[in-house]
Structure 1
Amino acid sequence: MANIQYYDVILKPVVTEKSMNAMGEKKYTFLVHPEANKTMIKEAVEKMFEGTKVKSVNTMNNDGKKKRRGMTIGRTAKSKKAIVALTEDSKDIEIFEGL
């Protein structure tokens, strides 16, 4: 496995209607590095966002979709998403505040 630092684990937040509704339950969705595991994701969230305590991490691997351009058939890139649930006494993640 590659040497992944904590700031390389979380790529970007996922902003969808479903993920916005889950924020009321203190669950935040991120696009993460494909080789990151749950403990790496937990450490990255706690280090990047001060005052947060992670209760659980759920991950899912998404395969690339089939795309066709003329006669050439290919696939888009694979991705990995993580849903991070925070404890009740932890602070909210501030990048989602204005959304």
Structure 2
Amino acid sequence: MSNDRLMKVLLAPIVSEKSTFIADKNQQVTFRILQDATKPEIKAAVELLFKVQVEAVRVLNTKGKAKRFGRFNGRRRNERKAYVSLAPGQEIDFAQEIK
């Protein structure tokens, strides 16, 4: 796995009520990831970017909802999420800058 690929695997952290509850309770962090990302790539990317130890990675595919925008039918995008379990004592602080 090249560093260029690992830098592109994680798209964004997911900050929602559910993800903050999971982070506090289970020491897990949630990320939006590429559609073709694998678990070993996700683990390596988190360890490379945030300098933490990762215990496990769980991946979830969600289908985009069909929605109506006025008189037009539309669809929200499909999304792939990764729930990353951190080792005990590890923490990711999104407020700090990444070097």
Summarize deviations over 1:21-51 as a string: whole Å, max 9, x none. 111221001111111011110010000001x
Query: CA RMSD for the aligned pairs?
Result: 1.8
**Within 1, Cα distance between the matches of 2:71 and 2:50?**
46
Give the C-alpha shift of residue 60 in structure 1.
0.5
Summarize deviations over 1:29-77 as a string: whole Å, max 9, x none. 1111111011110010000001x11100011101111022355423221
Alignment of 1:78-97 (within 5 A): 78-89=78-89, 91-95=90-94
The alignment's TM-score, normalised by the length of structure 2, stands at 0.82
Change (3 A) 1:96 1:30: farther
Could you list the runs of 4 or more consecutive aligned residues of structure 1 that deviate by over 3 angstroms after TM superposition? 69-72
Q: How many residues align?
A: 92
| Residue equivalent to 1:9 | 9
**Within 2, Cα distance between the matches of 1:95 and 1:38?**
21
Q: Which runs of 5+ in 2 are unaligned?
A: none
Q: Which runs of 5+ in 1 are unaligned?
A: none
The alignment's TM-score, normalised by the length of structure 1, stands at 0.82
Change (3 A) 1:18 1:69: closer
Q: Percent identity?
A: 35
| Residue equivalent to 2:20 | 20
Corresponding letter in the other structure for 1:94? D
